[in-house]
Amino acid sequence: MKFDTPATQNPIDQLKVIGQSVNRIDGKFKTTGTAAYAYERHDVAPNQAYGYVLGASIAKGRIRAIDDTSARAAPGVVTIVTTLDTPPLALGQMNYANLFGGAEIAHYHQAVAVVVAETFEQARAAAFLLTVDYETEAGRFDLAAEAGSAEPVGGDSGEGSDSGPGDRVGDFEGAFAAAPVTLDHTYTTPDESHAMMEPHATIAAWQGEKLTLWTSNQMIAWSKGSVAKILGIPKENVRVDSPYIGGGFGGKLFVRADAVLAALAAKAARRPVKVALTRPLIVNNTTHRPATIQRVRLGATRDGIITAIAHESISGNLKDGPPETAVDQTKLLYAGAHRLTGMKLARLDLPEGNAMRAPGEAPGLMALEVAMDEMAEKLGLDPVEFRIRNDTQVDPGNPERPFSQRDLVGCLTLGATTFGWDKRNPKPGQVRDGHWLVGLGVASGFRNNLLAKSGARVRLEVDGRVTVETDMTDIGTGSYTIIAQTAAEMMGVALDGIVVRLGDSDHPASAGSGGQWGANNATAGVYAACVKLREAVAQRLGINSADAVFADGVVRSGNRAVPLCEAAASGELVAEDAIEYGDLSKKQQQSTFAGHFVEVGVDIHTAEIRVRRMLAVCAAGRILNPKSARSQVIGGMVMGVGAALMEELAVDTRRGFFVNHDLAGYEVPVHADIPHQKVIFLDEPDPQSSPMKAKGVGELGVCGVGAAVANAVYNATGLRVRDYPLTLDKLLDRMPDAA
């Protein structure tokens, strides 16, 4: 189905099932431990052996030799595959460091061997008997030190934000010089880790030339292609299956070493092999969100109209790796006639930087939205009011291009009233609650809505049930449930009459899970397949499909009413289709918006920061399931608190690795860090986005929250910290007098 004109009235608009806060259909499996994740698929292949991965203990250089004599002789060892036994493997899609093969080491903990044994304990013990002789080379590990030599670069996050090396509208420098009120500050964000709870894991089995990978991956079709490319085998010979994924956040968009090494090890062992990356290996072996150094300049009239806006960012990556696209949202978020955005990239020898939840916007808004707060104060304006004054209903760089929908102002105003913003004291450091200094902060949230082709197959079974098959994944996002809701709405059956099968590359290719594009596109693909199935049903029943109504398990037309299951009485009906898009999103900008509000307390004695209240008001198209959508938003808000207050991969700038590479050293928010969170969705179906009239919401929640926390800390203390995370050592020696 081609979607190239705005949606009109369709069966989804009935909102009998869609738009309802139904419980997740996979909930009873997840809560009882019966949802099987990759490493737990004992039943899929007999006689699975255990693979244990050894990572490089240098950041750059090469391996002279690997002595595996004692490891091979160790009890239970089946086989060992070392990187020296393997030619350098091709790179997978959006992959910049070799996952395995050859003597060269491009980053710390790059996989150098996999030991296969009868048990996990034996494989682990034998892996530590390997002796690797390294030749170390000097590398570049310090972004601040390399920033001066960073080159201008354009880039694309692959997830909906892209920017040129220097994009200009009007005359930024002239307008900035002429502006009566200006701001020029530099902000830094650190390297961050996805830290999803399920480690990357794969079971691999070969049947002749055919390889099956039971794995944990967000993008099945990409990964099938990547596995084929990496291993140099035809795509048709690869099957990837990921029905449950224990979190990804961008860290499982791509094939990683677990999948490749399980495949190689299974080939060498001539039996199925399962491999999970150990927790301490994940941070340096896989990808991370790269650190940024961001300069924001704002020029405004005295009454707070922005005339000049510039946002420039420097990040680092391995050779050929992309920049962190932290400036992209600044092209679209606020008005202003004279504009500049630019990126520079330093060559670093740290592990591969790549997408993490809202790549670009998440760190970009942490800078821009603090700058907006600082500028509002300079102007003597309320920060909510300052943002509203600079709202734009069109793409500022291309004014004939409107937003399809944009109610940032509504998010901010409703948020302000709901949160009690009028009680905020604009003078910082004034509000006390016992030993706590209390402050409120606000920030805008922004993230684009992306359209991508997405396919599905639906079956009307003989027993009247409807089965949906697509390679779409559910990484915690609620895909199972919203897909079932879509099929239930379209076919007029109850939710429990729908079976959803996801994550299998033998199913039609979907948009997959990334860039908050999953919900809208995957359900639109199911919509397309259901439209076809409705036609097939009508045809078989001899009903005119144009006026057929599907409801309550019955198909009605004129005065005929036939049970839906009758259409399958003579055999199952199958329909397959995909949603494909025209150029609607080029004519009108499709984005999602939020107003984030945060209250913090800062301990007057210790500078400990506690988040006390949080609210997000979101305008993000039709909300397909408010319950699971809300969870996506609060999850993003939690990650935003982490980014603001604690998350930082510490770089050893001499040895070239992230030091705190486990869940004890890399701190993420825990229960005690997070208060009750409130989320409000504005009701705004967007007919430009798809027949579902929905948009993404999974990343909007993390966009802007960090800045709202930082702004609240400023309001509480009067202390501005421009280097994330806001740990107490950055406040302590400047804290106001406790008296």
Partner 1 sequence: MADAGAPVGPESPVMANVAFTVNGKRRELDLDIRTSLLDAAREHLHLSGSKKGCDHGQCGACTMIVDGRRINACLTLAVMHQGSDIVTIEGLGQPDNLHPMQDAFVRHDGYQCGYCTPGQICSGVAVLAEIEAGIPSHVTADLNAAPEATADEIRERMSGNLCRCGAYSNIVEAMTEIAGRPA
Site for ligand FES, rule CB under 6 A: 197, 247, 476
Nearer to ligand FES, 664 or 739 (CB): 664
475 binds, options ligand FES, partner 1, none, Cβ within 5 to 8 A by partner type: partner 1
For 362-400, b where at least 16 C-beta lie within 10 A, e where not — what string?
A: bbbbbbbbbbbbbbbbebebbbbebbbbbbbebbbeeee
Taking the C-alpha atoms of residue 254 and residue 251, their distance in angstroms, rounded to an integer, is 7
Token look-up 């299951």 returns 565
In whole angstroms, the minimum distance from the beta carbon of 194 to ligand FES comes to 11
Site for partner 1 in 280-299 (CB under 8 A): 280
539 binds, options ligand FES, partner 1, none, Cβ within 5 to 8 A by partner type: none
Is 662 in contact with 278 (CB distance < 8 Å)?
no
Nearer to partner 1, 172 or 244 (CB): 244
Q: How far apart, in Å, are the Cα atoms of 287 and each of 60, 109, 149, 164, 256?
A: 16, 11, 23, 23, 9
The reply to whether 669 sits near partner 1 by the rule CB under 8 A is yes
In whole angstroms, the minimum distance from the beta carbon of 119 to partner 1 comes to 6
In whole angstroms, the minimum distance from the beta carbon of 499 to partner 1 comes to 14
63 binds, options partner 1, ligand FES, none, Cβ within 5 to 8 A by partner type: none
- The question of whether 699 is a catalytic residue gets the answer yes
647 binds, options ligand FES, partner 1, none, Cβ within 5 to 8 A by partner type: none
Token pair of 658 as six digits? 């992230």
Binding mask 434-473 vs partner 1 (x if CB under 8 A, - otherwise)?
Answer: ----------------------------------------
User: 198, 312, 361, 699: which one is catalytic?
Assistant: 699
Q: Please, which residues bridge with residue 616 across strands?
A: 596, 679
Token pair of 32 as six digits? 């009882």
Site for partner 1 in 210-249 (CB under 8 A): 244-249
Q: Amino acid identity of 634?
A: I
Q: Which class for 237: exposed (0-12), middle (13-18), buried (19 or more C-beta within 10 A)?
A: middle
The reply to whether 279 sits near partner 1 by the rule CB under 8 A is yes
Q: Largest Cα–Cα distance in the chain?
A: 84
In whole angstroms, the minimum distance from the beta carbon of 637 to partner 1 comes to 7
Q: Where are the beta strands (DSSP E) in 368-417?
A: none
> Among 342, 351, 396, 476, which residue interacts with partner 1 (rule: CB under 8 A)?
476
670 binds, options partner 1, ligand FES, none, Cβ within 5 to 8 A by partner type: partner 1
Instruction: Report how far apart the first and last C-alpha atoms of the chain are (Å, whole number).
Output: 68
In whole angstroms, the minimum distance from the beta carbon of 477 to ligand FES comes to 10
Token pair of 131 as six digits? 């002796």
Residues 6+ apart with CB under 8 A from 542: none
The reply to whether 596 sits near partner 1 by the rule CB under 8 A is no
Residue nearest ligand FES, Cβ-based = 197
Is 519 in contact with 482 (CB distance < 8 Å)?
yes
In whole angstroms, the minimum distance from the beta carbon of 262 to ligand FES comes to 21
In whole angstroms, the minimum distance from the beta carbon of 130 to ligand FES comes to 25
> Among 449, 677, 688, 717, which residue interacts with partner 1 (rule: CB under 8 A)?
677
In whole angstroms, the minimum distance from the beta carbon of 513 to ligand FES comes to 13
Taking the C-alpha atoms of residue 384 and residue 408, their distance in angstroms, rounded to an integer, is 11
Query: Which among 117, 130, 128, 125 is positioned nearest to 63, based on CA atoms?
Result: 130
Q: Please, which residues bridge with residue 551 across strands?
A: 554
Residues 6+ apart with CB under 8 A from 267: 206
Radius of gyration over every alpha carbon of the chain, rounded to an integer in angstroms:
27
In whole angstroms, the minimum distance from the beta carbon of 161 to ligand FES comes to 25
Site for partner 1 in 156-195 (CB under 8 A): 194-195
Nearer to ligand FES, 476 or 669 (CB): 476
Nearer to partner 1, 546 or 672 (CB): 672
Token pair of 193 as six digits? 């880790």
Site for partner 1 in 49-88 (CB under 8 A): 70, 73-76
Q: Which stretch binds partner 1 (CB under 8 A): 120-128, 132-140, 296-304, 532-540?
A: 120-128
Query: Any alpha helices (H) in 646-737, and if so which ranges?
Result: 705-717
Site for partner 1 in 604-633 (CB under 8 A): 627-628, 630-632
Nearer to partner 1, 245 or 368 (CB): 245
Paired sense of beta strands 560-563 and 554-557, if any: antiparallel
In whole angstroms, the minimum distance from the beta carbon of 628 to ligand FES comes to 12
Query: Which among 247, 342, 348 is positioned nearest to 37, based on CA atoms?
Result: 247
Token look-up 């396919």 returns 455
Nearer to partner 1, 656 or 696 (CB): 696
Taking the C-alpha atoms of residue 180 and residue 71, their distance in angstroms, rounded to an integer, is 71
639 binds, options partner 1, ligand FES, none, Cβ within 5 to 8 A by partner type: partner 1
628 binds, options partner 1, ligand FES, none, Cβ within 5 to 8 A by partner type: partner 1
Paired sense of beta strands 49-55 and 657-658, if any: unpaired
676 binds, options ligand FES, partner 1, none, Cβ within 5 to 8 A by partner type: partner 1
Site for partner 1 in 25-44 (CB under 8 A): 26-37, 39-40, 42
Nearer to partner 1, 335 or 680 (CB): 680
Taking the C-alpha atoms of residue 266 and residue 205, their distance in angstroms, rounded to an integer, is 6
The reply to whether 278 sits near partner 1 by the rule CB under 8 A is yes
125 binds, options partner 1, ligand FES, none, Cβ within 5 to 8 A by partner type: partner 1
Is 193 in contact with 286 (CB distance < 8 Å)?
no
In whole angstroms, the minimum distance from the beta carbon of 631 to ligand FES comes to 9
Nearer to ligand FES, 246 or 322 (CB): 246
Q: How far apart, in Å, are the Cα atoms of 113 and each of 84, 177, 318, 384, 600?
A: 9, 58, 22, 55, 47
The reply to whether 546 sits near partner 1 by the rule CB under 8 A is no
> Among 160, 199, 225, 725, which residue interacts with partner 1 (rule: CB under 8 A)?
199
Strand order in the sheet with 104-105: 104-105, 61-67, 131-136
669 binds, options partner 1, ligand FES, none, Cβ within 5 to 8 A by partner type: partner 1
Evaluate the CA torsion angle 536, 542, 544, 548 in order and state its sign.
negative
> Among 209, 434, 558, 664, which residue interacts with partner 1 (rule: CB under 8 A)?
664
26 binds, options ligand FES, partner 1, none, Cβ within 5 to 8 A by partner type: partner 1
Q: How far apart, in Å, are the Cα atoms of 666 and each of 138, 311, 650, 702?
A: 26, 29, 9, 18
> Which active-site residues does the annotation give?
699
